């Protein structure tokens, strides 16, 4: 019987020829990761296990990105706890401030997440790496502690959902973010609960890696266990020169079984806005231009990559940020920051009136660097618009792609890039 | 084990930012997290809870982030278990891993009202609504999982087994 790409990766890591949805397996892990919020709990549990060492110091990644650079004394203590652990166990992939980036931008960039990998991370957006054709899923700190100790994790093999995109006529200003928001709007925030979301079709292959990362990043917002895109030439080009170990490319079989297949014509997708307080509350930008905003955030593990910044800068070039708007841009990694500087993107952003921050998850989860006051509204390229996500419980977050964010920063309300195009 | 307590009702898609807002994640101390449990839904919730009380919610409880701080906060504030129509995947695993009992019953999620006195039998999965003289059935956990929960979670369970 045919298998999906997710099933093939899990079978290979469980040392089995074949696996089927529902089956419980114990799988070997290629990488385990945690951040300054989740690692402290993991480390506490790891110590209880009484293990001398992590299973493989080259396959553990610890990234201080959430409340780092340290936002207060308590955060400093948490970061220190993780740093001390990394030093004590000689963890190779600990990234100090200065090298640090937002984990899901940083690890692919460093070639630490590769096609065919089986990865767990104590962060729900670990599913991002599915864009490389890897099985990657978020877990809690206890599972991560066990993974750090043993290099293994148990899984229930998920059923797969296929999102088959077709069509050639793209609407203007549509990117990966709009595809995934559109899907979540259709199936809901638990529409893929416990399942694998597989994205296929010519429109997916037409997208850049940066756009594919955005799509897989938000699979969790539909409740999925993982999101995945089979590797193609673009994937291989991306990992070439980054990969420092062997990897394997998997593709779904033609006769693989899916719990459901969704056919989506790309022509039906317009730039999307997710209204508070769930990512499933989607409308088109056209239906949203009445919404006045106070802050615009461009960045995060969802949309903080070079292409995102470039696209935003192209819209902002020659324009000024509205006087009642605070535009905060946070590049995903130091490399992205430098590349954006070399290209003149950062200068364009600052010229337009943006504040550009060092890489951090800060504002996305209401941690620091852009918290909202009571009654304030933000439009953000981030991934969640839950109650209180970016600050006060009575503030609001709307989600969109980087070009819509840029145009809205100029006009002070949700706007289409068409309205500011020169 | 039988849990008994008063029901606190919440809606569907209760996310981890509501259960424990990220602004409090600069610590992982259970007692500290407990103070802010469900704060963005009900600012006084932590003060109102009596030990043993039960959260009853709609579908997809615990969606969002992977923070284990969410089930830790629920357990630390004194709630004995969560009954929901369904649970988000990572929360489900995290709850069991830290020893917080959770029960899935769409019927209980609809019929139980705020303040009802509820009794949950972990062994059978039977949920008794003492106030309304009704009972609902959740799928009980297999014995090993009940033991794991009783041990206080995965790590204590594994450590306990290794020590035998």
pLDDT given for residue A302 in this prediction: 98
Q: In this structure, which long-range contacts are made by residues A336-342, counting pairs with CB atoms below 8 Å and at least 24 apart in sequence?
A: A336/A101, A336/A105, A336/A109, A336/A304, A336/A305, A336/A306, A336/A309, A339/A306, A340/A306, A340/A309, A340/A310, A340/A313
Nearest to B22 by CA among A335, A118, A362: A362
CA distance B133 to chain A (A): 32
Q: Is the pLDDT of residue A374 over 60?
A: yes
pLDDT given for residue A173 in this prediction: 98
Percentage of chain A modeled with pLDDT above 70: 100
Q: Is the pLDDT of residue A47 over 80?
A: yes
In the numeric block, which tokens belong to residue A165?
């995109």
Q: Between A66, A140, A388, which is nearest B21 by CB?
A: A388
Q: Is the pLDDT of residue A213 over 90?
A: yes
Q: Is the pLDDT of residue A259 over 60?
A: yes
Percentage of chain A modeled with pLDDT above 90: 98
For range A2-6, the mean pLDDT: 98
> Does an H or E element contain B131, and which?
none
For range A206-226, the mean pLDDT: 98
- pTM to 2 decimal places: 0.97
**Cβ separation A124–B25 shorter than 8 A:** no
User: Alpha helix (H) ranges present in A154-270?
Assistant: 176-187, 202-206, 209-217, 233-239
For range B138-149, the mean pLDDT: 89
Q: Between A38, A48, A189, which is nearest B67 by CB?
A: A38
Nearest to A201 by CA among A165, A232, A175, A254: A165
- Geometric angle at alpha carbon A219, from A310 and A97, rounded to 5°: 55
Interface test with B, best of A104, A126, A127, A142 (most B CBs within 10 A): A142
Task: Tell me how far apart the terminal alpha carbons of chain A are, to the nearest angstrom.
Answer: 55
> Does an H or E element contain A342, and which?
helix A334-342
Q: Is the pLDDT of residue B164 over 60?
A: no
Q: Is the pLDDT of residue A52 over 60?
A: yes
pLDDT confidence band for B161 (50 / 70 / 90): low
E-assigned strands of A290-395? 295-299, 326-330, 355-356, 377-380
pLDDT given for residue B160 in this prediction: 73
Which positions ≥6 away from A240 have C-beta within 8 Å? none
Chain A CB contacts of B93 below 8 Å = 139-140, 143
Q: Is the pLDDT of residue A410 over 60?
A: yes
For range A63-77, the mean pLDDT: 97
pLDDT given for residue A285 in this prediction: 98
B42 interfacial to chain A (CB closer than 8 Å) = no
Q: Is B93 exposed, middle or buried (0-12, 13-18, 19+ CB in 10 A)?
A: buried
Give the tens place of pLDDT for each residue, A87-129.
Answer: 999 999 999 999 999 999 999 999 999 999 999 999 999 999 9
How crowded is residue A90: how many other Cβ atoms within 10 Å of its Cβ?
Answer: 12
Q: Are A266 and A175 in contact (CB under 8 A)?
A: no
Residue of A nearest to B156 (CA): A48
For range B145-161, the mean pLDDT: 85
Q: Is the pLDDT of residue B162 over 70?
A: no
Q: How many CA within 13 A on the CB side of residue A282?
A: 26
**Cβ separation B97–A72 shorter than 8 A:** no
Average pLDDT, chain A: 97
Task: Tell me how far apart the terminal alpha carbons of chain B are, to the nearest angstrom.
Answer: 22
Chain B CB contacts of A371 below 8 Å = 23
For range A400-409, the mean pLDDT: 98
For range A200-211, the mean pLDDT: 98
pLDDT given for residue B1 in this prediction: 80
User: What is the distance between the alpha carbons of residues A218 and B149, in angstroms, rounded to a whole number?
Assistant: 31
Q: Are B31 and A374 in contact (CB under 8 A)?
A: no
Interface test with A, best of B24, B33, B40, B89 (most A CBs within 10 A): B89
In the numeric block, which tokens belong to residue B68?
């284990």
Give the tens place of pLDDT for each residue, B76-135.
Answer: 999 999 999 999 999 999 999 999 999 999 999 999 999 999 999 999 999 999 999 999
Chain A CB contacts of B84 below 8 Å = none
DSSP class per residue in A83-105:
HHHHHHTT-TEE--TTT---HHH
pLDDT given for residue B156 in this prediction: 87
Q: Is the pLDDT of residue A198 over 80?
A: yes
DSSP class per residue in B83-123:
EES-B-HHHHHHHHHTT--EEE-HHHHHH--TT-EEEEETT
Give the tens place of pLDDT for each residue, B49-83.
Answer: 999 999 999 999 999 999 999 999 999 999 999 99
What ipTM was estimated for this complex?
A: 0.94
Interface test with A, best of B41, B59, B68, B149 (most A CBs within 10 A): B68
Q: Is the pLDDT of residue B163 over 70?
A: no
């Amino acid at each position: 019987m045919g298998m999906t790409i997710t099933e093939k990766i899990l079978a290979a890591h469980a040392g089995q020829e074949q696996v089927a949805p529902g089956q419980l397996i114990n799988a070997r892990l290629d990488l385990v990761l945690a951040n300054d919020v989740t690692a402290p709990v993991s480390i506490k549990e790891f110590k209880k296990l009484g293990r001398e060492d992590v299973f493989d110091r080259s396959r553990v990644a610890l990234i201080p990105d959430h409340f780092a650079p340290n936002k207060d004394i308590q955060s400093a203590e948490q970061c220190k706890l993780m740093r001390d652990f990394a030093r004590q166990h000689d963890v190779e992939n600990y990234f100090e401030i200065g090298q640090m980036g937002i984990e899901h931008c940083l690890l692919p960039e460093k070639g630490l997440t590769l096609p065919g990998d089986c990865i767990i991370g104590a962060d729900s957006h670990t599913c991002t790496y599915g864009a490389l054709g890897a099985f990657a899923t978020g877990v809690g700190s206890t599972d991560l502690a066990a993974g750090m100790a043993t290099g293994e994790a148990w899984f229930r093999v998920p059923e797969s959902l296929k999102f088959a995109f077709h069509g050639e006529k793209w609407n203007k200003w549509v990117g990966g973010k709009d595809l995934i928001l559109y899907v979540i709007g259709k199936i809901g925030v638990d529409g893929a609960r416990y399942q694998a979301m597989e994205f296929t079709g010519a429109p997916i292959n037409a997208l850049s890696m940066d756009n594919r990362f955005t799509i897989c990043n938000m699979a969790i917002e539909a409740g999925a266990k993982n999101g995945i895109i089979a590797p193609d030439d673009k994937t291989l080009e991306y990992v070439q020169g980054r990969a420092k170990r062997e990897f394997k490319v998997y593709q779904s079989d033609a006769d693989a079984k899916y719990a459901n297949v969704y056919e989506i014509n790309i022509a039906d997708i317009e730039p999307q806005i997710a209204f508070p307080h769930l990512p499933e509350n989607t409308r088109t930008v056209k239906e949203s231009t009445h919404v006045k905003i106070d802050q615009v955030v461009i960045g995060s593990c969802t949309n903080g990559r070079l292409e995102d910044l470039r696209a935003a800068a192209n819209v902002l070039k020659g324009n000024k940020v509205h006087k009642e708007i605070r535009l905060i841009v946070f590049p995903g990694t130091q490399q992205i920051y430098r590349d954006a500087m070399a290209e003149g993107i950062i200068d364009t952003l600052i010229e337009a009136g943006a504040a550009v921050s060092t890489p951090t998850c800060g504002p996305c989860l209401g941690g620091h660097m852009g918290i909202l006051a009571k009654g304030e509204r933000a439009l953000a390229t981030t991934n969640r618009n839950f109650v209180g996500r970016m600050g006060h419980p009575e503030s609001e977050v709307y989600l969109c792609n980087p070009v819509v964010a840029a145009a809205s920063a100029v006009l002070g309300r949700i706007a289409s890039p068409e309205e500011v195009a020169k | 084990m039988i849990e008994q307590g008063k029901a606190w009702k919440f809606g569907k898609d209760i996310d981890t930012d509501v259960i424990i807002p990220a602004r409090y994640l600069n610590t992982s101390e259970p007692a500290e997290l407990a103070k802010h449990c469900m704060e963005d839904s009900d600012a006084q919730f932590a003060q109102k809870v009596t030990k043993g009380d039960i959260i009853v919610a709609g579908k997809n409880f615990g969606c969002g982030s992977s923070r284990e701080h969410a089930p830790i906060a629920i357990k630390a504030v004194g709630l004995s278990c969560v009954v929901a129509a369904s649970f988000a995947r990572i929360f489900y695993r995290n709850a069991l891993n830290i020893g917080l009992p959770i029960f899935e019953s769409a019927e209980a999620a609809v019929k139980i009202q705020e303040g009802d006195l509820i009794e949950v039998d972990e062994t059978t999965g039977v949920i008794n609504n003492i106030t309304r003289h009704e009972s609902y059935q959740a799928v009980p956990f297999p014995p090993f999982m009940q033991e794991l929960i009783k041990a206080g979670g995965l790590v204590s369970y594994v450590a306990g087994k290794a020590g035998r």
